[in-house]
């Protein structure tokens, strides 16, 4: 294989109760990236479209850092040239750097003859996350690489559990056009958690995992509660409480902050409810003098995928 074009999905991390430990991939929002073998060794990023302000320097770009690390661990007698078309903005809370990092891990792996497992690709992609936001968080990158819902059961050693996705689950998300940097959103987090809140949170993670396994939408709904991170971060997102309550009033199973925000996600059962929630969220923001974008999507169960190769 000399060339590959791939799709790298946007991802929703945390999913309310699972801060840094749960996430899922989005079906119809993501980046396209190309990877071409070159006779000159090394990594070159030749073009980034669809977003401003991202560096072409492979030692600083999330995708470049991943590609360089992979070539260092698996030396070859060719180089790799990359292009990226961003389908959504950095700083949206939809895992922009994770899509670049996870996409690079997948694309480079294919050109190398696929020596690395998905778990190893996630570890490489975490280096890209670290370059982009200062912390090697796994929830977005694992969701992008594995697809579907994932649970990061352990960071050391890294252990990723792929969870089933009930057929009727739909995502409705609103991206207010403001930027929240993950680094800043991590600075407002509490450094200590009460035992009472910890019990609530881990019980809900258990409930969510069980609900996904048993297609129990009511249990999923009951478990989409975050008593630790959402209260500390929601002031960063204008009209968060209104959007959340309107989404739930319109029938959503639950709603919360997507990753570190500002995107707000709602999870729904079925297309009809998703349509109502989409409308309700749109209405809630329509007179707020902040540009926004609302979309509805299925859950992507494949993760990063090949569009074409030769
Ligand atoms: N789990 C991370 C956070 C996701 O909420 O900070 C953002 O990358």
Express each pLDDT in 128-179 by its tens digit: 999 998 899 999 999 999 999 999 999 999 999 999 999 999 999 999 999 8
Residue 129 annotated in active site: yes
Tell me what pLDDT residue 89 has.
86
The predicted structure's pLDDT at residue 246 = 98
Write down the domain spans for the chain: 3-164+300-309, 169-298
Fold (CATH) for 169-298: Alpha-Beta Plaits (3.30.70)
- Per residue, the 3-state secondary structure of the chain, as one string, reads CCEEEEEEEEEEECCCCCCCCEEEEEEEEEEEEEEEEECCCEEEEEEEECCCCCCCCCCCCHHHHHHHHHHHHCCCCCEEEEEEECCCCCCCCCCHHHHHHHHHHHHHHHHCCCCCCHHHHHHHHHHHHHHHHCCCCCHHHHHHHHCCEEEEEECCCCEEEEECCCCCEEEEEEEECCCCCHHHHHHCCCCCCCHHHHHHHHHHHHHHHHHHHHCCHHHHHHHCCCCCHHHHHHHHCCCHHHHHHHHHHCCCCEEEECCCCCCEEEEEECHHHHHHHHHHHHHHHCCCCCCEEEEEEEECCCCCEEEEEC
Span 179-186, mean pLDDT?
Answer: 90
Task: Give the pTM.
Answer: 0.96
Instruction: Check whether 252 has a pLDDT greater than 90.
Output: yes
- pLDDT one-digit tens code per residue, 40-95: 999 999 999 999 889 999 999 999 999 999 999 999 999 999 999 999 888 899 99
Same fold, 3-164+300-309 and 169-298: no
- Give the per-residue pLDDT at 90: 86
Q: Tell me the sheet residues that pair with 169.
A: 269
Q: What is the pLDDT of residues 7-32, one digit of tens each?
A: 999 999 999 999 999 999 999 999 99
> Ligand 1 — pocket residues by CB below 6 A?
13-14, 19-20, 137, 139-140, 182, 185-186, 259-260
Q: Which of 142, 259, 265 to mutate to test the pocket of ligand 1 (most atoms within 8 A of CB)?
A: 259
3-164+300-309 has which fold? Ribosomal Protein S5; domain 2 (3.30.230)
Which pLDDT does position 52 carry in this prediction?
A: 87
The whole-chain average pLDDT of the chain stands at: 97
């Amino acid at each position: 294989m000399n060339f590959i074009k791939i799709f790298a999905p946007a991802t929703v991390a945390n999913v309310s109760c699972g801060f840094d430990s749960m996430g899922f991939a989005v079906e119809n929002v993501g980046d396209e990236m190309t990877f071409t073998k070159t006779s000159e060794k090394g990594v070159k990023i030749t073009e980034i479209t669809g977003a401003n302000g991202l560096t072409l320097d492979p030692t600083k770009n999330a995708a470049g850092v991943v590609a360089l690390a992979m070539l260092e661990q698996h030396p070859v007698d060719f180089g790799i040239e990359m292009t990226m078309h961003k389908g959504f903005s950095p700083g949206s809370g939809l895992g922009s750097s994770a899509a670049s990092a996870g996409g690079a891990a997948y694309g480079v792996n294919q050109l190398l003859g696929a020596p690395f497992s998905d778990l190893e690709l996630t570890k490489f992609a975490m280096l890209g996350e670290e370059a982009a936001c200062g912390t090697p968080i796994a929830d977005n990158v694992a969701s992008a690489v594995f697809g579907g819902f994932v649970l990061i059961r352990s960071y050391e050693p890294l252990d990723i559990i792929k969870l089933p996705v009930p057929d009727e689950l739909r995502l409705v998300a609103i991206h207010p056009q403001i930027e929240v940097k993950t680094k800043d959103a991590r600075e407002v987090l509490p450094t200590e958690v009460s035992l009472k809140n910890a019990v609530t949170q881990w019980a809900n993670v258990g409930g969510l995992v069980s609900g996904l396994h048993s297609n129990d939408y009511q249990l999923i709904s009951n478990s989409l509660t975050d008593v630790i991170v959402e209260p500390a971060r929601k002031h960063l997102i204008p009209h968060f409480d209104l959007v959340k309550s309107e989404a739930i009033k319109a029938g959503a199973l639950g709603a919360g902050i997507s990753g570190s925000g500002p995107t707000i996600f709602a999870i729904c059962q079925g297309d009809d409810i998703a349509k109502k929630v989409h409308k309700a969220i749109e209405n809630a923001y329509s007179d707020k003098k902040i540009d926004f974008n609302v979309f509805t999507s299925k859950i992507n169960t494949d993760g990063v995928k090949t569009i074409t190769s030769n």
